[in-house]
């Protein structure tokens, strides 16, 4: 099983600032990585797939990068609606696995 490790667990950021979240895979997943956002009481929603392709309707302030074992989700200028928990997910191998989540909170 591929273990996905996200860091930091919690990121405190002021609105308008940049946020950078990391996701590390225990073995290469190529570019087969997705990012999801989950707000309290809501289902997760897709942000990024293929490590760097924004899903339909996702603002350009969200960007993904990386390949192999190291990946990054960057939110260039945090808006109030971006404070949430973010998960990475690898789909290179079965079983599919998620990171433990990273919470972006208001500083």
**Residues forming the site for other proteins (CB under 8 A):** 32, 34, 36, 38, 42-46, 49, 55, 87, 89, 91, 94-101
Q: Which residues pair with 16 in a beta bridge?
A: none
State the nearest-atom distance from the C-beta of 69 to other proteins, in Å.
18
Nearest to 90 by CA among 47, 51, 37: 51
Nearer to other proteins, 5 or 77 (CB): 5
State the nearest-atom distance from the C-beta of 45 to other proteins, in Å.
7
State the nearest-atom distance from the C-beta of 42 to other proteins, in Å.
8
19-25, strands of its sheet edge to edge: 4-7, 19-25, 70-75, 62-67
Nearest to 47 by CA among 64, 26, 32, 68: 64
Nearer to other proteins, 16 or 57 (CB): 57
Nearer to other proteins, 13 or 58 (CB): 58
Q: Which residues pair with 22 in a beta bridge?
A: 7, 72
């Amino acid at each position: 099983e591929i273990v996905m490790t996200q860091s930091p667990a919690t990121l405190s950021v002021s609105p308008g600032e940049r946020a950078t979240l990391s996701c590390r895979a225990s073995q290469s997943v190529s570019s087969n990585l997705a990012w999801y956002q989950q707000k309290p009481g809501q289902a997760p929603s897709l942000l990024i797939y293929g490590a760097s392709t924004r899903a339909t309707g996702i603002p350009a302030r969200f960007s993904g990068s990386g390949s192999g074992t190291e990946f990054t989700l960057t939110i260039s200028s945090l808006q109030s609606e971006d404070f949430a928990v973010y998960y990475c997910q690898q789909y290179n191998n079965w079983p599919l696995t998620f990171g433990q989540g990273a919470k972006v909170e208001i500083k």
